[in-house]
Amino acid sequence: MSRRRTFRTLVGQKAGLVVPGAYDGVSARLVERAGFPAAYMTGYGASASRLGLPDLGFAGLAEMADHARNLAAAVQIPLIADADTGYGNALNVRRTVQAYEAAGVAALHVEDQAAPKRCGHLSGHEVILRGEFAGKIRAAVEARSDPDLLIIARTDAISAVDFDEALRRGEAAAKAGADVLFIEAPRAEAQVERIAREFDTPLLYNYAPGGRSPLLPFARLRELRYAIILLPVDTLFVAAKAVADFLRDLRAGDDVRSLADRYIAFGEFNDLIGVTAQLALAERYRDDGG
């Protein structure tokens, strides 16, 4: 089966797939090497790692689609990608879906925030009208050429309006053809449970460290039949702390040799990025002088 068909089948089981975020090609390969069934291209991490800027809409369609293409090409597992607001109106959403599909992603999510968008666990959100959001989801569904490409509808209405409006938007997105619903930032376990009761459509839970949602045990989310448990920025935060600690200790100790235990081995890293395989391929094409 294709990566998209495989992922669609896994999501349909509603078994709480744990999907770590990846912010670049190396982190995506590490997610794959660890044995996870899919990776997630985090918009927060893409903006931070690619631009050194917060997730406030600075990265546009061309940058994000290019980033998705690089991550999808780096791994064999399916990739979920953040497509923000779709970068405009319903017509822009159609182009976004086409660009992301060409990039090779298995799933993408489109949200109902008004520009400029922001991370779902910040404050000050504004959302577009519910009918406009439903139209954008319908445009996304109609724009895909591969029916196995999953369209994930994300609403930030809990933050921008209230919980009941978020449920109504989830219902509207499901009717518009969304394959997965992403009700962002529920505030309490009771809301998490209510979302699970309300919808038959597969659900995504954004397990954001330091965010507004309760970090329930994975087992509990599986009991509630959430299909995807997304760990959007964990790899980025872990990597940033490791690098910061290394640089702090290097500056303080003025001796890199004492920090040797912090390093991945040169050979192991070369294996991770495929040096041996690429050199073997180059040898295959070597000019033998004939």
**Res 290 pLDDT > 60:** no
Predicted TM-score (pTM) of this structure: 0.95
Residue-wise pLDDT for 31-68, tens only, equals: 999 999 999 999 999 999 999 999 998 999 999 999 99
Query: How confident is residue 257, by pLDDT bands cut at 50, 70 and 90?
Result: very high
| pLDDT greater at residue 120 or residue 256 | 256
Domain boundary assignment for the chain: 3-233, 240-284
H helices present in the chain, as ranges: 3-12, 25-33, 43-46, 61-74, 90-103, 130-143, 157-160, 163-175, 189-198, 218-223, 234-253, 266-273, 275-284
Enzyme catalytic residues = 40, 55, 82, 84, 109, 111, 119, 154, 184, 206
DSSP per residue, 81-145: EE-TT-SSSHHHHHHHHHHHHHHT-SEEEEE-BPSSP--TTSS---B--HHHHHHHHHHHHHH-S
Across the range 257-271, mean pLDDT stands at 96
Reported CATH class of domain 3-233: alpha beta
